[in-house]
A = this chain, B = another copy of it.
Amino acid sequence: MVSEFGFIDNIKSKYGLEKIGDDCAVLPKDGNTDLLLTADMLIEDIDFRLEWTTPEFLGHKTLAVSLSDIAAMGGTPKWAMLSIGVPENLWNIDFLDRFYSGWLALAFEFGVELVGGDVSRSPDKLVIDSVAGGEISKGKAILRSTAKPGDLIFVTGTLGGAAGGLELLENGFRFGELNGHTRDNLLLKQLKPQPHDTPRKLLQRLTIMTSMIDVSDGLSSDLGHICRESKVGARIYAERLPIHPDLAQYFSQNECFDFALNGGEDFELLFTVPRDQSNDVSETCIGEITEKGVEIVENGIARPLFTKGFQHFD
């Protein structure tokens, strides 16, 4: 029996669905600019559960996933297309109005225009395909394939919050049950992730980054993508992982660590910078690029880092 990851990896590599292995395809736009393109499909009961989220959160997350892909190339998002297959039980309620209001609020924040898409009927499950287009100066897209041994590895923000939120949802906790409860911080990381806006927030770093990816599958997985595409290794340090501070209230130390290392959907950015240019980088340095082998150092002892990756929840 082929696993889901094996099946999907096989199809993607066989048919070039991840062009040059990056978050976005890069196409020439004009003399100064490249076009960045990304597509993500979200399917009910695989990628989300309607009873766990709100229509507004789902609309937000739909666009956030695409914006994160563009951010991970260092680009600026410009437009998006939204295709949606809607089962009949959602036609007569305000579901789609609320979905679009969540989508449009994030689009407005990022200056993204909704230029098209499709609306179709679906037999039973809600199906969404989110496509976004962005721009970047010609030849400046930050790829996964250009990390060099000796580079330092950085990550923005904190890790594991989205995985912790997913675990809480699976255990019956819902957003907003207790007014202002800190639990909601973790649920929001899962349900309403905030994509990065690289040109605004990391502008001074873009020129020194040698590679970048967004943490969508999980740190171990996404670091593995950089190493595989760049044909390098990596060493990261367990004690440096920026574990989401609210996780410790609900989970054991081991669980928190596992969420930060292997949990998906944090949509933080993982990037590399040459050591001699890294003085001004204020994000968290979690390790360095090596010649080969991916390992994690814990209490001074190095062990191989296996890719666990993001497991869908059913």
- Distance to closest chain B CB from A64 (angstroms): 15
State which residues 217-271 of A face B: CB under 8 Å.
Answer: none
Q: How many copies of the chain does the oligomer comprise?
A: 2
Selecting from A24-32, A199-207, A285-293, the interface stretch reads: A24-32
Roughly how many angstroms separate A118 CA and B100 CA in the complex, as a whole number? Answer: 22
Interface pair B123/A43, CB less than 8 Å apart: yes
Roughly how many angstroms separate A18 CA and B47 CA in the complex, as a whole number? Answer: 27
Interface pair B41/A131, CB less than 8 Å apart: no
Interface pair A127/B41, CB less than 8 Å apart: yes
Interface pair A118/B81, CB less than 8 Å apart: no
Given contacts A30-B29, A79-B27, contact A118 B45 (CB under 8 A): no
State which residues 154-187 of A face B: CB under 8 Å.
Answer: none
A108 at interface, CB cutoff 8 A: no
Roughly how many angstroms separate A235 CA and B161 CA in the complex, as a whole number? Answer: 62
Interface pair B30/A131, CB less than 8 Å apart: no
Interface pair B27/A30, CB less than 8 Å apart: no
Tell me the A residues contacting B by CB distance below 8 Å. Answer: 1-2, 4, 7-8, 11-12, 14-19, 24-25, 27, 29-31, 35, 37-47, 79, 81-86, 91-92, 96, 100, 104, 114-125, 127, 129, 131, 133, 312, 314
